[in-house]
């Protein structure tokens, strides 16, 4: 996902709504599961795992935005050598020509079929990495099509405005101003409409993947839990000025996005990797040593509202679990 606008807005909102926030700390956190350990523990099922070639497609949640070490070209994709595709490939013993990662931060479904311009170089069409020889494909995409980071940014704006108003009037922050913003005069949910449109494009994309690599096992990878089901647990991270209704709204929208991804994967005969369930309790509002997702004020050098190294490890473990299922 593209973080520029949302990251700035979330950061500004956090400065106003919170006190004593710290951006220091470890870049990974010690509690993330080991993808390689998961693979070793299932050695008896190794014969069922694909031997490659493996091609990874996707956006920043796949690329591993800002997670060290940054590898590959173009540099603008911010692709990590410790992202979940790299961890999965290592666990499967795939390297060299047997593993190709063309994921790129900011990618949409359209960028998979056409060249994507980044702030530092152009990423060639991701689908071009596929061939009839490909035996495994993972695809993490859809959040940018649904404008999810823009939704996060808008919610930060709406919460900030309501918090400032509440401070001036002496009232408490309540309701869900962001939900109200994205509900049209006709009562239509604008975010859900974007998710539905993204689903149509994803369905077409999966057909192209199947056409290019008919023998491959294809997996659509969902998004991990960004926010907890209990808004109260986010008070420390997001501040008391953040409307509880907006935290619940954002969590609801992400679940709708993942539901779409699961349904489209099933309709196309592809597998679905659930990263949401295993990430429960590791959202951005969890402690620094527990979270898989960085909060608006991330640990030094990491991207706000994106997985850290522990999150990538957790996603890799989920992919390996799906491969063994």
Per residue in 50-93, pLDDT (tens digit) is: 889 999 999 999 999 999 999 999 999 999 999 999 999 999 99
- Tokens 């099933």 found at: 266
Q: What's the average model confidence in pLDDT over 46-53?
A: 74
Look at residue 238 and tell me whether its pLDDT is greater than 90. no
Q: Which of 43-47, 102-106, 192-196 has the largest mean confidence?
A: 102-106
- Which one of the listed residues 28, 60, 80, 103 is annotated catalytic? 60
Q: What's the average model confidence in pLDDT over 9-34?
A: 38
> pLDDT digits over 267-294, tens only?
999 999 999 999 999 999 998 999 999 9
Domain 4-11+35-324 in CATH 3.40.50.1110? The answer is yes
> pLDDT digits over 113-141, tens only?
999 999 999 999 999 999 999 999 999 99
Of 139-148, 259-268, 307-316, the poorest mean pLDDT is in: 139-148
Cβ-proximal residues to 214 (8 Å cutoff; 6+ apart), any chain: 132
The residue ranges of every structural domain in the chain are 4-11+35-324
- Helix boundaries (H) for the chain: 4-17, 35-41, 60-63, 84-92, 109-113, 148-169, 177-181, 190-212, 235-238, 244-267, 309-324
Q: What's the average model confidence in pLDDT over 5-27?
A: 37
**Could you give the CA distance from residue 64 to residue 48 in angstroms, rounded to a whole number?**
27
Look at residue 30 and tell me whether its pLDDT is greater than 50. no
pTM of the model: 0.82
- Average pLDDT taken over every residue of the chain: 82
306 is catalytic: yes
- Tokens 């700390």 found at: 25
Contact between 242 and 160 under an 8 Å Cβ cutoff? The reply is: no
Tokens of 210: 């199947």
34 is catalytic: no
- Which one of the listed residues 86, 105, 213, 306 is annotated catalytic? 306
pLDDT score at 37: 53
Look at residue 217 and tell me whether its pLDDT is greater than 70. yes
Q: What are phi and psi of 317, to 5 degrees?
A: -60, -40
Contact between 88 and 138 under an 8 Å Cβ cutoff? The reply is: yes
**What is the percent of the chain with per-residue pLDDT over 90, rounded to a whole number?**
59
Supply the DSSP symbol for 33: P
**Could you give the CA distance from residue 98 to residue 316 in angstroms, rounded to a whole number?**
17
pLDDT score at 120: 97
pLDDT score at 155: 74
Look at residue 46 and tell me whether its pLDDT is greater than 60. no
The full DSSP string for 168-196 is: HHTPPP-S-HHHHHTB-TT--BHHHHHHH
- Of 259, 290, 268, 274, which Cα lies nearest the Cα of 325? 274
* Element containing residue 70 per DSSP (H, E): strand 70-71
pLDDT score at 243: 72
pLDDT score at 233: 81
Q: What's the average model confidence in pLDDT over 184-207?
A: 88
pLDDT score at 246: 80
Binning pLDDT at 50, 70 and 90, where does residue 297 land? confident
Tokens of 167: 């401070």
Supply the DSSP symbol for 98: G
């Amino acid at each position: 996902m593209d973080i520029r606008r949302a990251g700035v807005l979330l950061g500004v909102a956090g400065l106003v709504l919170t006190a004593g926030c710290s951006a220091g700390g470890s870049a990974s956190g010690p509690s993330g599961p080991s993808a390689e350990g998961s693979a070793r523990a299932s050695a008896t099922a190794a014969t069922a795992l694909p031997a490659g070639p493996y091609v990874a497609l996707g956006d920043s949640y796949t690329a591993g935005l800002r997670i060290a070490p940054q590898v590959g070209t173009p540099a603008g994709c911010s692709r990590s050598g410790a992202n979940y595709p790299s961890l999965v490939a290592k666990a499967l013993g795939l390297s060299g020509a047997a593993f190709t990662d063309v994921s790129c931060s900011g990618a949409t479904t359209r960028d998979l079929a056409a060249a994507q311009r980044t702030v530092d170089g152009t990423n060639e069409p991701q689908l071009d990495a596929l061939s009839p020889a490909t035996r495994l494909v993972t695809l993490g995409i859809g959040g940018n099509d649904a404008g999810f980071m823009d939704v996060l940014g808008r919610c930060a704006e709406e919460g900030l405005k309501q918090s400032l108003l509440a401070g001036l009037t002496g009232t408490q922050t309540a309701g869900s101003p962001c939900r109200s913003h994205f509900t049209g005069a006709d009562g239509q949910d604008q975010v859900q409409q974007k998710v539905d449109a993204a689903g149509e494009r994803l369905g077409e994309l999966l057909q192209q993947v199947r056409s290019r690599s008919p023998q491959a096992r294809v997996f659509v990878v969902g998004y991990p839990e960004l926010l907890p089901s209990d808004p109260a647990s986010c008070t420390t991270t997001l501040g008391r000025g953040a409307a509880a209704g907006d935290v619940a709204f954002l969590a609801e929208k992400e679940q709708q996005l993942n539901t779409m991804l699961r349904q489209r994967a099933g309709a196309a005969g592809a597998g679905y990797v659930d990263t949401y369930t295993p990430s429960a309790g590791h959202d951005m509002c969890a402690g620094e040593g527990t979270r898989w997702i960085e909060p608006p004020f991330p640990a030094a050098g990491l991207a706000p509202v994106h997985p850290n190294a522990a999150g990538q490890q957790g996603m890799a473990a989920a992919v390996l679990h799906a491969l063994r299922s």
